[in-house]
Amino acid sequence: MNEKRRPPIVGRYMQEEVALATRNSGMPLEALRYDVTPAGLHYLLIHFDIPEADAATWKLRVEGLVARPLELGLGELRRMRAKTLRVTLECAGNGRGQVSPRYPSMPWLEEGVSTAEWTGVPLSAVLNEARPGESVREIVFHGADRGFDRGIEHSYSRSLRLAEAMHEDVLLAYDMNGAPLLPQHGAPLRLLVPRWYGMASVKWLQRIEAIDRAFDGVQQALSYHFRAAAGDPGIPCTRMRVNALMVPPGIPEFFGRRRTVEAGEVEILGRAWSGDGEVKRVQFSADGAWQDAALEAPVAPHAWQRWSARWQAARGVHELRCRATDATGAIQPLEPPWDVAGFGNNSVQRVEVLVR
Ligand SMILES: Nc1nc2c(c(=O)[nH]1)N[C@H]1C(S)=C(S)[C@@H](COP(=O)(O)O)O[C@H]1N2
Ligand SMILES: [Mo]
The Å distance, Cα 229 to ligand 2 centre, comes to: 20
Q: What is the pLDDT of residue 11?
A: 86
CA pair distance 146, 207, nearest whole angstrom = 13
**If you take atom 5 of ligand 1, which residue's CA is the nearest one?**
46
Which ligand places an atom closest to the C-alpha of 44?
1
Ligand 1 mean position to 184 CA, how many Å? 9
The pLDDT of residue 3 is 58
Q: CA 257, CA 141: separation in Å to the nearest integer?
A: 40
Ligand 1 centre from 333 Cα, in Å? Answer: 26
Any bridge partners for residue 270, and if so which?
246, 307
- Cα-based distances in Å from 217 to 153, 156, 276, 303, 340: 10, 9, 26, 29, 20
- Region 337-349 average pLDDT: 97
| The pTM of the whole model exceeds 0.85 | yes
Question: Regarding beta strands 205-211 and 59-64, do their DSSP bridges make them parallel or antiparallel, or are they unpaired?
Answer: parallel
Q: What is the DSSP letter of 111?
A: -
- Please enumerate in sequence order all residues whose Cβ is within 8 A of that of 292, keeping only pairs 6 or more positions apart, or say none: 281, 282, 283, 284
- Please state the rounded mean pLDDT for residues 157-176: 98
**254-313: pLDDT as tens digits:** 999 999 999 999 999 999 999 999 999 999 999 999 999 999 999 999 999 999 999 999
How many other C-beta atoms are found inside a 10 Å radius of the C-beta of residue 222? 20
Closest atom of ligand 1 to 157 CA is 1
Beta partners for 207?
61, 142
Residues with CB under 6 A from ligand 1: 42-47, 89, 91, 143, 145, 156, 185, 198-199, 201-204
Strands (DSSP E) along 166-214, which ranges?
Answer: 171-176, 179-180, 190-192, 205-211
User: DSSP string of 9-55?
Assistant: B-SSPPHHHHHHHHHSBPPPGGGGG-SS--GGGS-B--SSPPPP--T
- State the closest ligand 1 atom to the C-alpha of 92, by its place in the atom list counted from 1: 14
pLDDT of the residue at 1: 46
Closest by alpha carbon to 165, among 312, 62, 31?
Answer: 62
Domain 243-355, CATH number (from 1.10.580.10, 3.90.25.10, 2.60.40.650, 3.90.1010.10): 2.60.40.650
Note the pLDDT tens digit of each residue in 65-123: 999 999 999 999 999 999 999 999 999 999 999 999 999 999 999 999 999 999 999 99
Domain definitions of the chain by residue range = 15-236, 243-355
CATH says 15-236 is which class? alpha beta
For 185-204, the pLDDT digits (tens) are 999 999 999 999 999 999 99
- Could you count the other beta carbons within 10 Å of the beta carbon of residue 353? 21
- Beta carbons of 239 and 326 less than 8 angstroms apart: no
Distance 310 CA to ligand 2 centre (A): 33
Q: Virtual CA dihedral for 99, 100, 106, 109, nearest 10 degrees?
A: 40
* Ligand lying closest to the C-alpha of residue 182: 1
**From the CA of 94, how far away is ligand 2's center (Å)?**
8
Residue 7: per-residue pLDDT: 85
